[in-house]
Amino acid sequence: MASTPAGRAGVPRPAPPAAPARGTEGSPLGGGFLAHPDEVLAGLRERCPVARVTTPAGRPVWLVTREADVRAAFLDPRLSLRSTPPAPGRPHRAMDLTLVNYDPPDHTRIRRLAAPAFAPGRIAAYRPRAAELADELLAALGSTGAVDLITGFAEPFAFAVLREVFGFGDETAPRLHRAVGDLIRHTDAERALDELDAIVRARIADCREHPGEDVTSSVLRAWEASGQVTEAELVDLLAMLVLAGFDSTVQMLGMAVLALLGHPAELARLRAAPELLPGAVDELLRWDTPGPFGTRRVALADVEIGGTVVPAGSGVLLSVAAANRDPRSHPDPDRLDLTRPDAARHLTFGAGPHYCPGAPLARLELTVALAALLRHWPDVRLAVPVTELAWGGGFQHRRLEALPLLLGTGRAGPEAA
């Protein structure tokens, strides 16, 4: 899979189609990619940083892996996210089009509704309650025995914070949990979308009658003041924020704990100095991510990226995971260093107009959850070898199906790697 460097006199020329990577079922993004994306992406980044590959479904796409190229591409308006609206004739439903389906100025017009609600200062107000929720869940689990971090703590914690932030009441919680879970696991997705649509519309109606200080109320107030966004776009925006804010946090928390268990010296360092947590969270976000790529873009014209011309009409994937391990931007990138000075330069939340609006909340949840885990679980280790961990999802959103742990003193568990 070699991309073609710039031609004579600095004129770039298109790369030929690349051969599939060996041992990856015809695509470098298939096979063992979910468990070891860094290994696949490092090879691409160093040998063919702008490569034409196929996805596991057989779709051709241009894969961009060097940090400078990825960062510049995030800012390039010729790489479009715009999607075709649903066919006319059926009623609108939540998630028909979300923020990642728009380019500016429509993207800017809609995203503006969420900006005040997710301002870092406003999100910081949820820290005390998030800490209480984490402590309550961990106290119930105890500090000895076996536990699955994902189902035992990460999922209930992220869902409880989601309810607090968006203002969903007890009567709605079971329906919302089922709908979000089914959408994440692609189980009865049509029914789940209908359910999520009904839940979001009901929450909007409730906020009209009983406005509060939660995110839903804040977004609704901005919508009413704007006059530039349709109600369908409002429903899409809130549904996307709810869905995106759940599983990504669950998975990032699991991957962060897995990384710490695989680096016991860094874990001990963090236990001894928990004040390092804010910077450590950025390093953990750099180290691994559930979403190795930004949303697929389409080139609106021939676009030169890293000396290679990507033809108009081509699909483009920007690999944030590869960029986060690029030695040109992060010295010694394959070493986890919780005090890395440049860790916050990671691209896990994207860059430019589509920078993740929920980044302040994600950082808060990770910081609060890890601080609580350090306090409640002074002795924790993997219950199985790291090679036996099951990975699911797809190449654009990896999922740890479980993270089985052993708590308390006793025989050392398998070493993470």
- Whole-number pLDDT of residue 213: 93
- Whole-number pLDDT of residue 21: 36
Strands 308-310 and 50-54: unpaired
- Whole-number pLDDT of residue 88: 72
pLDDT digits (tens, 9 = 90+) for 53-68: 999 999 999 999 999 9
H/E stretch holding 382 reads strand 380-382
Band of pLDDT at residue 93, cut at 50, 70 and 90: confident
pLDDT above 50 (res 18): no
pTM, two decimal places: 0.89
Q: Are 29 and 391 in contact (CB under 8 A)?
A: no
- Whole-number pLDDT of residue 2: 34
Is residue 348 classed as helix, strand or coil in its secondary structure? coil
- Whole-number pLDDT of residue 185: 86
H/E stretch holding 394 reads strand 391-394
Strands 391-394 and 397-400: antiparallel
Range in 18-22, 127-131, 282-286, 329-333 the model is least confident about: 18-22
Report how many helices (DSSP H) and strands (DSSP E) the chain contains, helices first: 15, 13
- Is the model more confident about 114 or about 7? 114
pLDDT above 70 (res 268): yes
The beta-strand segments (E) located in 28-87 are 50-54, 60-64, 79-80
Average pLDDT, the chain: 90
